[in-house]
Structure 1
Amino acid sequence: MNVKTLPLVLLFSLNTLVASNISSTIEKSSHKFCKNTLLNDESQKEVDFCMETKTKYPKVSSTNKTLEKHLRQAIEKELKAQNSPKSHVLKEIKEGNVGSAMGHESSLSLKVLSATDKTFTLEGSFYAYLGGAHGMGNTIFINYDTKTGKEITLEDVFVPNYKKKLKEIVEKEYRIQSHIKEDDNLQDKLDWFDNKFVLAEAIGFGEDGLHLAYNAYEIKSYAAGTTNIIVPYALLKSIIKPNGYLAPLAKAQKLSEGKVQHSFSDALSSMNLSAERISGSKLKLILQVSKDPYNYRMKANKGSISLSFPQLSSKSEVLSKSSQNIDKLMLYPKGHKIYNLSQKKNIVSEYLLVEGEVTKWTDEKERKIELILNMPENIDSLKVRYRMTVKNEKQFFNTPYKGTQGQQGFQNYDVEIR
């Protein structure tokens, strides 16, 4: 993995793991290095040029000692691959890149995406501000052989000549998750640079399927952030090597369980919506949202998380509701007054809305809304629109940046649960 251009600031966290008992303790540190120098412009002004780093990472342990050893080595490898704050500052000064007094900062969030006796995958989310109009984010996946600790490639897990079939499967699933037709133009409907579908450069092995992350400028503009796709392994059975690296993950996931997942992220937040039919007409929805203040410096301190259902109208269709780290969770049925951003006034709702308010959003805690819905008999698939909106004293910031405009005038992710 080539990330040597990014200075060191590390934010590590562990995710749920498969087939291996892993625990961790969190280590934290913060470093800042400054050096007095002259601006590289006509003013030749004397400034203190600084680089600030923040570190949060797990010390992992596991009952599988081979896995534990190679996990620790992989994490240590990523730590050593980064530049220190001091070396970054000295390098920038030497190369004459100090164009303003504004300091540099960066972050790396690394988590264990999955771990089995055969493979483990690390997911890294990078962000760096090195001057200019905005910072730059990037997501990578690194897949390892648990027994040897060596990196593995897609050629190691899929059958020969897999690429064409993989591309077809991923594109079909992406169009379904994005709620567009098979022949819809990607450029017109989803703001791709062109209408040619391509596989992401970053591909990892998750518990819930194959993860693909399209970074900024890969298929869309910077403002669109990162585009994520999760493809269930059940759809990839024809190209997965039998008894190969992915066998434990593919075996653990059954498409017949009726569980689907949609994940999106951008510079402001990451959002994950999972849906599972639990019995008969009952459907469980879980929306998880996180906001990373290191990656977005707009100083927002309050906000809301919203799910709306164009096919539903009554409160009675929500059998139960619960939330985590949300101050107030409300249901607005069809006909209730709700605020519309574009009209800047209250309007009458056209369909069911569930909204969670956060009155003090200044931390990195995950927010969650969990609902159990009663699906009407005449609905074969459920349409769900969801978003996250935070605000400071002057303005709103919304995720997604561009999506489907909902009844409140905000942009929404628009998915269909089949």
Structure 2
Amino acid sequence: MKGEILVNTSILPVGIKSRHIVEPRIDIYFPQITGLSNRTIEKNLNERIETQVYRMIRKQGYLENPQTEITGGFDLKNNQQNILSLTNSHYSYSGGAHGLTMVRSLTMDVESGKVYALKDLFKKGAKYQERINHLIREQIKSRDMDLLNEFKGIHPNQYFYVADKSLVIYFQLYELQAYVYGLTYFPISVYALEDIIDEQGPLGKMIY
């Protein structure tokens, strides 16, 4: 049709709806993907998100301690180029001076259905851990961070998410710093990793 504008819908943000868990001592919102053309991928990714949420609830002692109350929500960190990266954040309180916040994340390709581990973001054989460790140590020094525990390096199952043109490495409460500082985050520009990232992966899609 003359004058028709063609849009590549594959690069548009994926649809997200909020689900709400309301049970005794639980009030949690978490995301669910909607509108994918491949319903099997949509179902599998949504199950992965929901499984993470319920694992967090169990890990926070809800089943063991009748005093534990949990509230939670989510944040979409990246939703473009078929890459969805999100965090689920829960706050649990079981009495005492303060509660505890737990954050978990998922980074996924909504076209292929792949859920990424940190190693999957980089070229095969790339020494990504060494590079990231070096960049984190530089930030610790430049930000003059007060550490509770020495930074000994990231691990293969390191928590991370993708936010625009950054890879964000993060640590839970007390892993590196005292409670007053909250969780510890290290945003790393994709351009500092450009030579070792997988061009077809989430970080590559943020550049190319």
Scaled by the length of structure 1, the TM-score of the pair is: 0.40
Q: Is the 8 A contact 2:29 2:72 kept in 1?
A: no
Match of 1:164 in 2: 130
1:19-30 correspondence to structure 2 within 5 Å: 19-28=11-20, 30=22
Q: Is the 8 A contact 2:13 2:82 kept in 1?
A: no
The match for 2:108 among 131, 144, 148 is 144
Match of 2:160 in 1: 203
Structure with greater proportional helix content: 2
Match of 1:74 in 2: 48
Q: Is the 8 A contact 2:83 2:107 kept in 1?
A: yes
Match of 1:56 in 2: 29
Task: Report deviation, 1:118.
Answer: 5.6
Match of 2:97 in 1: 133
Match of 2:145 in 1: 190
User: What's the secondary structure of 2:205's corresponding residue?
Assistant: helix
Q: Distance in 2 between matches of 1:124 and 1:59?
A: 12
Q: Distance in 2 between matches of 1:29 and 1:195?
A: 38
Task: Report deviation, 1:128.
Answer: 1.1
Q: Deviations over 1:309-361 (max 9, x none)?
A: xxxxxxxxxxxxxxxxxxxxxxxxxxxxxxxxxxxxxxxxxxxxxxxxxxxxx
Q: Is the 8 A contact 1:116 1:146 kept in 2?
A: no
Identity of aligned residues (%): 18
Q: Distance in 1 between matches of 2:18 and 2:201?
A: 33
Q: Which has the higher contact order (CA 8 A, sep 6+)?
A: 2
1:187-336 correspondence to structure 2 within 5 Å: 189-193=144-148, 196=151, 198-199=153-154, 201-251=158-208
Give RMSD over aligned pairs: 3.3
Q: Is the 8 A contact 2:170 2:185 kept in 1?
A: yes
The match for 1:31 among 14, 17, 23 is 23
Q: Distance in 1 between matches of 2:131 and 2:80?
A: 26
Q: Is the 8 A contact 2:16 2:31 kept in 1?
A: yes
Cα 1:219–1:147 shift into 2, 3 Å: same
1:120 equivalent to 2:84? Answer yes
1:358-373 correspondence to structure 2 within 5 Å: none
User: What's the secondary structure of 1:192's corresponding residue?
Assistant: coil
Q: Deviations over 1:355-391 (max 9, x none)?
A: xxxxxxxxxxxxxxxxxxxxxxxxxxxxxxxxxxxxx
User: What's the secondary structure of 2:11's corresponding residue?
Assistant: coil
Match of 1:109 in 2: 73
Q: Distance in 2 between matches of 1:204 and 1:105?
A: 27
Structure with greater proportional strand content: 1
Q: Deviations over 1:275-295 (max 9, x none)?
A: xxxxxxxxxxxxxxxxxxxxx
Task: Report deviation, 1:57.
Answer: 3.6
Q: Distance in 2 between matches of 1:131 and 1:193?
A: 24
Scaled by the length of structure 2, the TM-score of the pair is: 0.72
| Equivalences, count | 192
Counterpart residue type for residue 120 of structure 1: L
1:403-418 correspondence to structure 2 within 5 Å: none
